Amino acid sequence: MIVFIRQGFRDSVNVSLFSIAVWDQIKCLAGVVYRLHGPIGLVDPVSGIFWKWATWPVLIYLPIFAGYVSYGMATYVSIERCLSVSWPLKIRFLVNPRLTTGFMVGLSIIIFGSFSPVIFVYEVEYTFNSHYNTSIPRVAAGNLYFARDGFILKMYKYLGIIYPAIFCTVMTVCSVIIILRLRRSSANFRPDRRKNGGRETAGAASVNMTPREVKVTRMLLVVIFVYLMDFFPRLCIYVASLIEPEFFVYRRLHNLMQITSNTVWVLDFLNASINFFIFMNMSTNFKTTFYEIFPARSG
């Protein structure tokens, strides 16, 4: 985030990647704050239990919702790159930082807002525990959990399939188009001595796409692939929850749901952390700016 702020937002790509970084940061911070119950429990077990269950309704879902928002933004990036490699001259003038900012804000509001009611279906109750000789919290299904025949949870399940299905389909199609266009651009980017009296001229595709744009597109393509690899397991979980209603929190297959959900959590946090290393390895500008801000020190 600091690197993108330093580089400025004259480029729509920086706006997109900065927005994704913000939600990745929210995802990681929420996960870290929730998991503080472990270190706190080493000092005071009761305080650790309080921290774990008092923060559970919000912090267990916040990383998931933040992940969906970042997936939506990655889908926008795939569409923008697909259009850029298909009609570079036209899209270059249409897609600007202001338009991209509007899409980033809109996606954040729509996706996060559509999932947020799920946070309120659970309630924190306090029951006396004889082992600790005090009342400790626990999460239980609230009134909204069963309201209108569990409408909110059903909506959550369906959105959990609709969003991934749309995002995965769009990113896959756009990725295929981008790869084909890049191959065509590479084939056309060859010296042509048959024209202009033997002087070298580049192919038409290379005129439309600069070498920098090709490099940026390849980097973003890697980012999109990482999202696809992370997103597919979550899609499978939600499909399974629709096929088997008991495969959900506090139902018969609760433990299996927890195991698979925690596995997907690990993938989510890896996805949120790996983009930095992709940028450092594939973007010369990002790497240069990073070392300008944080100079490398030799032993």
pLDDT at 149: 66
Residue, of 277 and 243, whose pLDDT is higher: 277
Nearest in space to 175 (alpha carbons), one of 265, 78, 270? 78
Give me the pLDDT at residue 181, please.
Answer: 80
What 8-state DSSP symbol labels residue 5?
H
Write b or e for each residue in 116-148: b if 16 or more Cβ atoms lie within 10 A of its Cβ, otherwise e: eebbebbeeeeeeeeeeeeebbebeeeebbeee
Within 8 A by CB and 6+ apart from 102, the residues are none
- Collapsing DSSP states into helix, strand and coil, what is residue 192? strand
Alpha-carbon gap, residue 53 to 13, rounded angstroms: 39
CA distance 236 to 146: 25
- Phi, psi angles (nearest 5°) of residue 9: -120, 40
- Higher per-residue pLDDT: 166 or 92: 166
Q: How far apart are CA 44 and CA 41, in angstroms?
A: 5
Hunting for tokens 């899409």 — which residue is that?
103
> CA angle, corner 94, sides to 93 and 98, nearest 5?
105
Question: How would residue 107 be classed by pLDDT, with cut points 50, 70 and 90?
Answer: very high
CA 84 to chain centre: 22
Q: Would you state the pLDDT for residue 63?
A: 87
pTM: 0.79
Q: What is the pLDDT of residues 260-277, one digit of tens each?
A: 878 887 888 888 888 889
235 or 124, which is more confident: 124
Average pLDDT of the residues in 20-38: 91
Tell me what pLDDT residue 2 has.
93
Spatial separation of the C-alpha atoms in residues 107 and 104, rounded to whole Å: 5
- Containing 243, the helix (H) or strand (E) segment is helix 211-243
18 vs 203, residue with greater confidence:
18
Considering only 16-20, 26-30, 135-139, which range has the smallest mean pLDDT? Answer: 135-139
**pLDDT value of position 39:** 93
Question: Is the confidence at residue 15, as pLDDT, over 90?
Answer: yes
Residue whose structure tokens are 């490398």 = 296
What one-letter code names the amino acid at 296?
A
* Amino acid at position 93, single letter: F
